[in-house]
């Protein structure tokens, strides 16, 4: 047998051994044994029709984000008055503080003030909506076909209502909590949170407040079959991507459009944008994404489990596949989205200066300096790039802690078939301002949305399923009972 044959046989044996090793790894990856908890009390008795009516009333108050702090905020004051009428036990027990006219802090003192309080965040504001194309008026709060329709019914008055309903229930049925509770409701999350959440967080920090853990909007529940998990899955955001706007500027001699000099100002800018789209930043599996795989993999069907169990070996292939789908692509890299461009103010004029905005969502593990360096190298010396707005990626909150386990325990008590895992929240939330008050910042929305309904957020026919309200409220009740009550 010649040397080539020995090499081929050696390679074949090595490949066979590697495949056997990968199959064995897959076979050994099994779900952990569930520990029985016979002490779990029954779920609270909640009236679905009352919850739906309350969310309907909340949606009917058009708390559209204010463009300026000097804008008329009467709808926010109307919303505050509605909260006071609807939740008397909360307002009787809580110390209420108003920040910058419209943001709210409710503090319910615990009987043991040596314990750090829990904090639940929501925001009162919603994005604008016009009636065209809606099946029901966007600010009518109409209940039909088992849904509450209207702007904010998903983002995020449903979560706000679920939170206050839970606190109201606890105060009426459970008495004073041992651990205190804070509710913090900003009023401008949809317009970059300039006057709400950062001022709330600063106010609390000045008074030495720190939290056991905090829950804000974020990851949702979904059908796990899309990931090969035959269960409902819950995505708990332990961090969020950073945000940046990068301004590209091209300068050339202007003139009349009848005799253009090439390359034109806009032509250079268009080439720069195309180059950015063709040359994305590198992909990587960062810590929260690895934790996502770790926690879901044991429950996956065999073929999915094979790839997850051997992701260290198959990482290049997996990352390449992830880039083919916009949602999963955003989990493995910093993304660039051209969103705005300017040129001349007349159709027959060549602009002397053209600009474009690139909206960037910065992967946890990257930073704005690296992003700017990549973009400037990509567009070349004829285009200038500058950061006009930036928030760096958030720290990653821990998952091997009593606080995270308390959250997942509450989930399992409400949805017994549910599998939870941490992940990187790809959007922005008010939670990013609260890291000075606790390292345990989690982003989770306790509603199960089909893919078709997820597309309704900030869009036409936003709606919340009536039957989803009771378990959502029960989740927050469980969080409070498990962490705050005797």
Q: Which of 344, 365, 391 is the last residue of a domain?
A: 391
Q: What per-residue confidence (pLDDT) applies to 35?
A: 59
- Whether residue 32 is contained in a domain is answered as no
Q: Which of 391, 422, 442 is the last residue of a domain?
A: 391
- Whether residue 72 is contained in a domain is answered as yes
Predicted confidence (pLDDT) per residue in 251-267, tens digit: 988 888 888 888 899 99
- Coil, strand or helix: which one is 166? helix
Judgement on whether residues 65 and 197 belong to the same structural domain of the protein? yes
- Whether residue 221 is contained in a domain is answered as yes
φ, ψ for residue 419, nearest 5 deg = -115, 125
Of the candidates 125, 155, 216, 453, the residue annotated as catalytic is: 125
How high is the mean pLDDT in each 10-residue block of the chain (486 residues)?
73 85 89 66 89 98 88 93 98 97 97 96 96 96 96 96 97 91 97 93 97 95 89 95 96 84 90 96 94 94 92 91 89 96 91 95 96 96 94 96 95 93 93 96 93 89 96 96 88
| 360: Cβ contacts below 8 Å, ≥ 6 apart | 242, 243, 244, 245, 246, 334, 335, 336, 337, 368, 371
- Coil, strand or helix: which one is 221? strand
Q: Which of 372, 391, 410 is the last residue of a domain?
A: 391
Of the candidates 155, 168, 188, 189, the residue annotated as catalytic is: 189
- Whether residue 13 is contained in a domain is answered as no
The count of domains in the chain is 2
Provide the CATH number for the domain around residue 333. Answer: 3.30.70.360
- Whether residue 417 is contained in a domain is answered as yes
Predicted confidence (pLDDT) per residue in 321-354, tens digit: 999 988 889 999 999 999 999 999 889 999 999 9
Judgement on whether residues 93 and 210 belong to the same structural domain of the protein? yes
Judgement on whether residues 369 and 470 belong to the same structural domain of the protein? no
Judgement on whether residues 480 and 341 belong to the same structural domain of the protein? no
- Whether residue 23 is contained in a domain is answered as no
pTM of the model: 0.92
Judgement on whether residues 374 and 400 belong to the same structural domain of the protein? no
Q: What per-residue confidence (pLDDT) applies to 40?
A: 66
Query: What count of other Cβ atoms lies within 10 Å of the Cβ of residue 305?
Result: 21
Judgement on whether residues 412 and 330 belong to the same structural domain of the protein? no
Judgement on whether residues 140 and 209 belong to the same structural domain of the protein? yes
- Whether residue 36 is contained in a domain is answered as no
Question: Is 125 tagged catalytic?
Answer: yes
Judgement on whether residues 67 and 184 belong to the same structural domain of the protein? yes
Judgement on whether residues 350 and 405 belong to the same structural domain of the protein? no
Question: Is 366 tagged catalytic?
Answer: no
Q: Which domain holds residue 54?
A: 48-239+394-484
């Amino acid at each position: 047998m010649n040397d080539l044959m020995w090499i081929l046989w050696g390679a074949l044996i090595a490949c066979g051994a590697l495949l056997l090793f990968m199959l064995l790894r897959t076979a050994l990856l099994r779900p952990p044994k569930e520990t029985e908890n016979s002490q779990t009390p029954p779920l609270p008795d909640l009236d679905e029709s009352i919850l739906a009516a309350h969310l309907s009333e909340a949606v009917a108050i058009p708390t559209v984000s204010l463009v300026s702090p000097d804008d008329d905020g009467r709808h926010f004051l109307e919303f505050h008055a509605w909260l006071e009428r609807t939740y008397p036990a909360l307002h009787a027990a809580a110390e209420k503080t108003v920040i910058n006219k419209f943001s709210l802090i409710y503090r319910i003192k615990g009987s043991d003030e040596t314990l750090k309080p829990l904090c639940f965040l929501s925001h009162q504001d919603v994005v604008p909506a016009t009636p065209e194309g809606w099946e029901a008026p966007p600010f009518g709060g109409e209940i039909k076909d088992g849904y509450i329709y209207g702007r904010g019914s998903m983002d995020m008055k449903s979560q706000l209502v679920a939170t206050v309903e839970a606190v109201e229930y606890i105060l009426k049925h459970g008495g004073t909590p041992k651990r205190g509770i804070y509710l913090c409701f900003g009023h401008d999350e949809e317009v970059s949170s300039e006057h709400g959440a950062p001022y709330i967080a600063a106010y609390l920090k000045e008074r030495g407040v720190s939290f056991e853990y905090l829950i804000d909007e974020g990851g949702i529940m979904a059908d796990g079959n899309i990931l090969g998990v035959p269960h409902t899955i819950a995505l708990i955001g332990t961090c969020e991507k950073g945000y940046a706007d990068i301004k590209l500027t091209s300068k050339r001699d202007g003139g009349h459009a009848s005799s253009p000099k090439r390359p034109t100002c806009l032509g250079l800018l268009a080439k720069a944008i195309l180059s950015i789209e063709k040359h994305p930043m590198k992909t990587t599996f960062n810590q929260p994404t690895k934790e996502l795989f770790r926690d879901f993999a044991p429950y996956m069907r065999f073929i999915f489990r094979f790839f997850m169990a051997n992701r260290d070996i198959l990482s290049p292939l997996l990352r390449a596949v992830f880039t083919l789908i916009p949602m999963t692509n955003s989990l493995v890299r910093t993304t660039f989205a051209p969103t705005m461009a300017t040129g001349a103010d007349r159709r027959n004029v060549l602009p002397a200066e053209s600009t474009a905005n690139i909206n960037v969502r910065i992967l946890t593990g990257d930073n704005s300096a690296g992003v700017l360096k990549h973009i400037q190298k990509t567009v070349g010396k004829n285009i200038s790039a500058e950061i006009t707005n930036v928030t760096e990626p958030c720290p990653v909150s821990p998952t091997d802690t009593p606080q995270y386990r308390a959250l997942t325990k509450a989930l399992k008590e409400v949805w017994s078939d549910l599998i939870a895992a941490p992940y990187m929240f790809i959007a922005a939330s008010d939670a990013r301002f609260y890291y000075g008050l606790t390292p345990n910042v989690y982003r989770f929305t306790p509603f199960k949305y089909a893919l078709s309904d997820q597309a309704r957020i900030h869009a036409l026919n936003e709606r919340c399923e009536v039957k989803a309200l009771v378990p959502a409220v029960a989740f927050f009740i469980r969080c409070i009972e498990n962490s705050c009550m005797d």
